[in-house]
Amino acid sequence: MYMQKISKLFFVAVMFIAVLTGSACRTDNYVNTNTLRHLYSIFKNGEIDECRYNGKTVYCAGLNAYDAGSVVYDMDGNRIGNCNYAWGPVDPICNQLENCQVIYRCANHISGEPFVDKYGLSR
């Protein structure tokens, strides 16, 4: 009986430390659902990438059209860059995005790449 109580107490202590450690290491790696739903409403016929810029999460989105370009948004959905290479020089942020991954891509995308919906935006 005494050993069971000690084991339970040890388990609770380990779980508590694990939760504290996990939350202390996070920066902004959460999903901003409101921003993503807003971007999806604009770019549902296109693609949305999740990238890193200066250690923060940003989104780069573009429509499913040749020479459409893309726009970079911060976590709150504010436009912070324009990346339309067809119309000349682009904003410096366009060449500073890192670790980009597609989180949404419409079906029948002009790239020929498959449909992606990492966060279930199309549901």
Each residue's pLDDT tens digit, 6-50: 444 444 343 433 333 343 343 445 678 999 999 999 999 999 999
- Report the greatest alpha carbon distance in the chain: 75
pTM reported for the whole predicted model: 0.76
pLDDT of residue 1: 55
For residues 69 and 39, give the distance between their C-alpha atoms in angstroms, rounded to a whole number. Answer: 15
pLDDT at 30: 62
For the chain, what is the mean pLDDT?
83
Q: Does residue 5 register a pLDDT over 70?
A: no
pLDDT, position 28: 46
